[in-house]
């Protein structure tokens, strides 16, 4: 029984479930100080960006929890595809009066700034929009206009690394209004240890037991300090420890551990083995064009299928869509062997992402 196994470490549950808990947010001290100063100084627009799994949503939810007693907060987990939907988001948050409901009144896009100014009532609104890379130019431009017309607001948008490029290339006026730019890359070694410790203690454990310090150092090296990758690796190691009835998780257990089950790592019925040494920046630069292009695509958007990747390549270089997908599969096979990408089986499809170390190299490039 899982519960019986966890109880020997004092746990009441698995601490490494992938869930957002603001109380467990860890690290990024300079970035946290920067966004808090941005809000305290009442600047208008800040942008937080970083790869998938770097902790953007956790940081926003931590801010929501930290500031809710002193500031009105509006957190939007995913921006709509048309500006009109924001009317419902704001009225659901701030409400409308009985008489306005009776008259079926609601603000329009034109009257929304006045409505918000009255509802905020001289307090400073913290307006956070997550996954901002997923919306369109028109919505982002409307957000810029809205923020210009609200007297007391700090807008914080968060998204993948392609968000700054998108705004810079398509929305120069918006770009000029961003006063704080915050990049999340990965945790430091000590913060990685603190993340593991907080998770374990949150379910009743003590310190970092059952992980040894040297095991945590290896976890940091293998994951590159990406919070989500740290949690996923720790979770898999705990399940391995359960299968082997281990009391302590050592470096040797990590060395023996396969990140992806062997049965899920097959291309044309051949088992794929991974390169023992992480590739370097120079190795990336020396790759053939199409291999580099696929890595660049995955650096902007994690966990894509071969079809999704091929659609983002230049289709004109292939005879047909089928040729493009087969070529992409062959390239991904090579990149997995060389340790550039990882693969997971999700339902009937395989999804691909950069390995943690390669993510860091792309952030640094």
Q: The domain spanning residue 356 has which CATH number?
A: 1.10.10.10
pLDDT at 100 over 80: yes
CB-CB contact of 34 with 201 (8 Å): no
- In this structure, the answer to whether residues 308 and 217 fall within a common structural domain is no
**pLDDT value at residue 49:** 92
- In this structure, the answer to whether residues 178 and 196 fall within a common structural domain is no
- In this structure, the answer to whether residues 32 and 146 fall within a common structural domain is yes
Read off the pTM: 0.74
* Residue 10 included in any domain: no
Q: Which of 59-68, 104-113, 146-155, 351-360 has the weakest average pLDDT? A: 351-360
The residue range of the domain holding 284 is 265-364
**pLDDT value at residue 316:** 59
* Residue 96 included in any domain: yes
- In this structure, the answer to whether residues 249 and 149 fall within a common structural domain is no
Residue 43: CATH number of its domain: 3.40.50.300
Residue 236: CATH number of its domain: 1.10.8.60
**pLDDT band at residue 260 under the 50/70/90 scheme:** very low
- In this structure, the answer to whether residues 101 and 155 fall within a common structural domain is yes
What is the average per-residue pLDDT within 322-340?
83
- DSSP symbol at 225: T
CA 163, 168, 171: angle at the middle one, nearest 5?
A: 100
**pLDDT value at residue 194:** 97
Neighbours of 161 (CB within 10 A): 21
The residue out of 120, 155, 183 marking a domain boundary is 183
pLDDT at 271 over 70: no
The answer to whether the bond into 210 is cis (omega within 30° of 0) is yes
Q: pLDDT digit string (tens) for 182-197?
A: 999 889 999 999 999 9
Asked whether the CA dihedral 263, 267, 271, 272 is positive or negative, the reply is negative
pLDDT at 57 over 90: yes
- In this structure, the answer to whether residues 311 and 249 fall within a common structural domain is no
Report the domain count for the chain. Answer: 3
Percent of the chain scoring above 70 in pLDDT: 90
Q: pLDDT digit string (tens) for 170-229?
A: 999 999 999 999 999 889 999 999 999 999 999 999 999 999 999 999 999 888 888 988
């Amino acid at each position: 029984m899982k519960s019986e196994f966890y109880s020997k470490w004092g746990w009441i549950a698995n601490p490494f479930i992938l869930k957002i808990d603001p109380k467990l947010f860890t690290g990024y001290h300079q970035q946290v100080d920067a966004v808090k100063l941005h809000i305290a100084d009442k600047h208008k627009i800040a942008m937080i960006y970083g790869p998938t799994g770097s902790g953007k949503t956790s940081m926003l939810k931590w801010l929501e929890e930290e500031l809710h007693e002193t500031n009105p907060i509006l957190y939007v987990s995913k921006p709509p595809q048309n500006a009109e939907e924001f009317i419902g988001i704001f009225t659901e948050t701030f409400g409308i009066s009985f008489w306005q409901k009776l008259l079926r009144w609601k603000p329009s896009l034109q009257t929304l700034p006045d409505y918000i100014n009255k509802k905020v009532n001289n307090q400073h609104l913290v307006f956070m929009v997550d996954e901002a890379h997923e919306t369109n130019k028109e919505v982002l431009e409307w957000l810029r206009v809205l923020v210009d017309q609200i007297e007391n607001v700090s807008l914080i948008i968060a998204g993948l690394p392609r968000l700054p490029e998108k705004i810079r290339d398509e929305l120069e006026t918006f770009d000029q209004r961003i006063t704080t730019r915050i990049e999340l890359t990965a945790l430091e070694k000590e913060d990685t240890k603190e993340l593991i410790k907080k998770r374990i203690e949150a379910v009743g454990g003590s310190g970092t037991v059952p992980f040894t310090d040297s095991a945590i150092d290896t976890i940091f090296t293998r994951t590159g300090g990406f919070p989500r990758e740290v949690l996923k690796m720790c979770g898999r190691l705990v399940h391995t420890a359960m299968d082997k009835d281990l009391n302590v998780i050592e470096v040797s257990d990590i060395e023996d551990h396969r990140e992806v089950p062997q049965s899920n790592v097959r291309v044309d019925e051949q088992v794929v083995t991974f390169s023992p040494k992480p590739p370097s920046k120079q190795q990336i630069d020396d790759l053939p064009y199409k291999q580099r292009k696929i890595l660049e695509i995955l650096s902007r958007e994690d966990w894509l299928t071969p079809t999704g990747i091929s659609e983002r390549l230049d289709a004109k270089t292939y005879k047909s869509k089928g040729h493009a997908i087969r070529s992409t599969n062959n390239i991904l096979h090579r990149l997995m062997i060389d340790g550039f990408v990882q693969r997971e089986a999700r339902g009937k499809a395989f999804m691909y992402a950069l390995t943690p170390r390669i993510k860091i190299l792309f952030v640094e490039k």
